[in-house]
Amino acid sequence: MLAQSQREHIDHVLAVSQTGAPPSDRIGSSWVRCIRDYGLDPCRPTRAHIIEHARLREHQDHIEEFLGVARTGMEQLYKRMAGIGYVLLLTDAHGIAVDFIGNDAWARELKQSGLYLGADWSEARAGTCAVGTCIVEKTPITVHHADHFDATHISLTCNAAPLFDPTGDFLGVLDVSALTSPSPRDSQHLALQMTTMFAQMVEDANFLRYFRDRWVLRLGSAWSMVDVSGEIMLAFDADGVIVGTNSGARKSLRPLRGGNDGALVGRTLGEIFREGMDSIWRIARAGFTADRTALSTGSGEVYYGTVVQPRIAPRAARSTETEAAARAPALERLAGDDPQMQRLIAQASRLVNRPVNILVHGETGTGKEVLAKALHESSERAAKPFVAVNCAAIPESLIESELFGYTAGTFTGGRSKGMRGLIQQADGGTLLLDEIGDMPLHLQTRLLRVLAEREILPLGAEKPIPVNLTVVAASHRDLRKLIAEGSFREDLYYRLCGAILYLPPLRERRDLDYLIERLLAAEGSELGTNATLDLRARHALLDYSWPGNVRQLRNVLRFALAVCDGGTITTDDLPAELMSADHRAPAATEGSEATRGEAAELEAALRRQRWNVTAAAVELGIARATVYRQMKRFGIVPPNQL
Ligand SMILES: Nc1ncnc2c1ncn2[C@@H]1O[C@H](COP(=O)(O)OP(=O)(O)OP(=O)(O)O)[C@@H](O)[C@H]1O
C-alpha cells in the first residue's frame, strides 16, 4: 500500500514530466529523462536493486587499485559523518556501489533502502537519485527526499560528487546518504561540501599515486596551505612537458597563447606560466622547506607552488645537444630522417633505464617488437634476457602456465616435470607482452599483481618468487576502447603505460628510402646476395601505401632479392599489388584504412589459429585459397617462414 505522501509525490512527478522542465532544473530534467529515456513508471515504485556477489566482484576488479586509495579517504570522511547518521557509498562509473561504510546496527534498513554494497544506483535503474544524476551531470548534487523519482526513496537524503581519473576520464561517484534527515534541503549544504571536498582529496591521492614517478607541481592560492591542499596539480617530465592534470588544473588553467581548448597535456609548463621553466626547476630544487615561488597565469591569477619529487628521480633535464649525444645506437638505427620517428627515438632514449613500464602502440608490422628490443639493448639490462610473448599467439588455455610456469606434479603426462614461466625467464631483463589486448581478463588480474608486487606465484607453488624486470607491452588495438567494452582492466592499463610510445604507420614515415636501403642490405647479407633497385622499382616501392607496414616491406624485398636476375631488382620482381593504383600512397585515406583493417583482421585470425590457414579460413568464413591470396597481398608471412 502506498502512503499518502508517496501518492502525492507520484502525481507531482507525473505533472512535471508532462509539462517538461527547464534545463537548469536538474531534478525536473532527470524526472523527464526517467520517463522518456528509460521508460520508468513513477506509479510503480520499486525497491533498490542489489546485484549478485559475482557481478559485484567484477565491478570491483575493474577499479581495484583505485578502491584502495578511495578507502582511506572514505574512512576519514566516515569518522566525521557517522556521528550525524550518514553512511558512505563509492560507486563505479555505472552506478554500482563497489564500496560502502555504514553502521552495522542498521544493516537491514540500509540494505532495504539500497544504501549498501552492490546497490545499483544508475538513473536508468533507480530513477533520479544523487549517484545516478551525478553520473549524468558530472557535477556535485544533493537529491533530497521528494527530489527522488521513485516514491520508495523519498525518505532518503543523498549527496554525491563525481570522481575523475588522472587522465580526466570519469571514474565513479562518492555518495554520502542518510535514511532520515530534517525536511529543509538546506540541511544538506554542509554534507554536500564535505562530499565534494573528500571526492577531490581521493582524486588527488589517486593522481599522486599514479604519477609517483613524475614531478608534480602543486599550486594553491594560499601560500601557507599549498603543501596540505594544493588545489591544482600538474605532473610533468624532465623537459617540463605536462603529462597529467587534476580536475582543478583542467578547470582553472589555460595556455598563455593559442587558445581556449583547455588541452594542457603535451604542452610545456612554460606555455602556462609567465615565469617559465627556470622558476619551476627552482621550486623543485628548493623542496618543501624553502620559500614557495609565486607563478602567474595568462589571466593574471597568482598561485603559490611546491613540487613533489618523483619516487625514484628520473634523470635531470638535459639540453637538446646532450640529449642527442645520449641517444643509444640501437634506437638511433630504427629510423632515418623522419620527424615522427626522431621524436619517438628522443622520447625512447629518455626512458632507457627508467623504472617505468612502457606501452608501445602501433599498427601491425610497424616494428613494436623491434623497438622493445632496441630499448632493452640500450639499457643496463642488455646482457640479461629479452623475452617476447605474443599473447594472441598462445592458446588461451596455455597462456597462464606459459607465463607463470608450474611446479612439478601440477600437470600429468608430457607436462609433469614443471617449467619456469616466461615471466621468470625474463628475470633481470625485459619482458615484452605483445598484443596485450588479447590477454584474457582473469590473467590480467594476475599480471597486475606481478607488476604491483614484483613477484610471481607459479601454478602449484606455495611461495611467490621475486622477479625484477622491465615490462614493455605492445598493442595495435585501442586499449581505451577495450576498457570501455569491459575486456581490458583499467588499472592494468595505468600500470602498463608509465609512458606511451606511438609508432607511426609506414605510409606516414618520410624515411622510406632509408628503410629500403637498410633492409635491402640486411636481407641481402642474410641471403648471401646483393642487388640494387632500378629507378622504376624504387618508385613503385616509394609510391605504395604499405598496409602491412615494415614487415610487408621486408618481405617484398626478401622476395625480390631471391627472384631478381643479375643484381638488379626491377618491377617484374615486385608483387603486382605494388603497381596497382589502389595502393598508391597519396590515396592512403579511406580505401587503405579498410585494407589495413582487413590485413590486421586476417593476421589476428591466423595468430589465433596458430598459423593454421584452414582453421583461419573457417574462422573468417572464407575459402583457404582466399586466405593464401590475401596473405600474399598484404605480405603476411608465418613466423616460421620469416
Ligand atoms: N625500424 C626497423 N628497421 C628494420 N626492420 C624493421 C624495423 N621495424 C620493423 N622491422 C621489421 O619488420 C618486421 C615487423 O616488426 P615487428 O615484429 O617488430 O612489428 P610489430 O609491430 O611488433 O608487429 P605485430 O603487431 O605483428 O606484432 C620484422 O621483420 C622487423 O624485423
Give the DSSP per-residue string, 51-65.
--HHHHHHHHHHTHH
Provide the 10 A C-beta neighbour count for residue 216: 24
How far does residue 498's CA lie from ligand 1's centre (Å)? 23
Q: Which residue, chain included where needed, has cell 537491514?
A: 108
**4-52+72-200 and 211-308: identical CATH topology:** yes
Mean pLDDT by groups of 10 residues along the chain of 642 residues: 88 91 92 95 93 88 84 91 93 96 90 95 97 97 96 96 89 96 92 95 90 86 62 86 87 76 78 84 65 77 83 47 55 87 88 86 94 94 92 81 85 75 93 92 86 86 89 92 90 86 92 91 87 90 92 93 88 84 47 66 82 82 78 75 56
CATH topology of domain 507-641: Helicase, Ruva Protein; domain 3 (1.10.8)
Q: What pLDDT shows up at residue 259?
A: 57
DSSP classification of residue 84: G
The C-alpha cell at 395 is 592458446
> Is the CB of 366 within 6 Å of ligand 1?
yes
> Is the CB of 489 within 6 Å of ligand 1?
no
Alpha-carbon span 571 to 565, nearest angstrom: 12
Q: Is 642 exposed, middle or buried (0-12, 13-18, 19+ CB in 10 A)?
A: exposed
Rounded to two decimals, the pTM is 0.52
Interacting residues of 160 by C-beta distance below 8 A, sequence separation 6+: 130, 131, 133, 134, 140, 141, 143, 173, 174, 175, 176, 195
Alpha-carbon span 494 to 491, nearest angstrom: 5
Q: What pLDDT shows up at residue 588?
A: 35
Contact, 254 vs 260, CB < 8 A? yes
Looking at domain 320-502, its CATH superfamily turns out to be: P-loop containing nucleotide triphosphate hydrolases (3.40.50.300)
> Which amino acid residue places its CA nearest to atom 24 of ligand 1?
364
How far does residue 542's CA lie from ligand 1's centre (Å)? 18
How far does residue 427's CA lie from ligand 1's centre (Å)? 24
The C-alpha cell at 142 is 544533493
- Phi, psi for 426 (deg, rounded to 5): -85, 5
Three-state helix/strand/coil letters over 570-629: CHHHCCHHHHCHHHEHHHCCHHHHHHHHHHHHHHHHHHHCCCCHHHHHHHHCCCHHHHHH
335-339 long-range contacts (CB < 8 A, ≥24 apart) are 335/509, 335/511, 335/514, 335/515, 336/511, 336/513, 336/514, 336/515, 337/510, 337/511, 337/514, 338/504, 338/509, 338/510, 338/511, 338/514, 339/510
Alpha-carbon span 135 to 508, nearest angstrom: 40
How far does residue 364's CA lie from ligand 1's centre (Å)? 8
> Is the CB of 583 within 6 Å of ligand 1?
no
Q: Taking Cα atoms as reference points, which of 500, 473, 478, 442 lies closest to residue 62? A: 442
> Which amino acid residue places its CA nearest to atom 2 of ligand 1?
334
* CATH number corresponding to 211-308: 3.30.450
How many CA atoms lie within 13 Å of 24's alpha carbon, on the beta-carbon side? 0
How far does residue 552's CA lie from ligand 1's centre (Å)? 9
Task: Give CA torsion, residues 593, 594, 599, 600, to 10 deg.
Answer: 70
> Is the CB of 476 within 6 Å of ligand 1?
yes
How far does residue 554's CA lie from ligand 1's centre (Å)? 9
The C-alpha cell at 255 is 595556455
SS3 content of the chain, % helix, strand, coil (to 5): 50, 15, 35
ipTM for the complex shown: 0.96
Q: What pLDDT shows up at residue 312?
A: 57
Alpha-carbon span 148 to 130, nearest angstrom: 8
User: What b/e readout covers 329-345, taking b as 16+ CB neighbours within 10 angstroms?
Assistant: ebbeebbbebebbbebb
Question: What are the extents of the domains in the chain?
Answer: 4-52+72-200, 211-308, 320-502, 507-641
CATH topology of domain 4-52+72-200: Beta-Lactamase (3.30.450)
Contact, 86 vs 191, CB < 8 A? yes
> Is the CB of 338 within 6 Å of ligand 1?
no
Q: What angle do helix axes 549-563 and 512-527 make, rounded to 10 degrees?
A: 50
292-295 long-range contacts (CB < 8 A, ≥24 apart) are 292/223, 292/226, 295/219
Maximum separation of any 2 CA atoms in the chain, in Å: 98
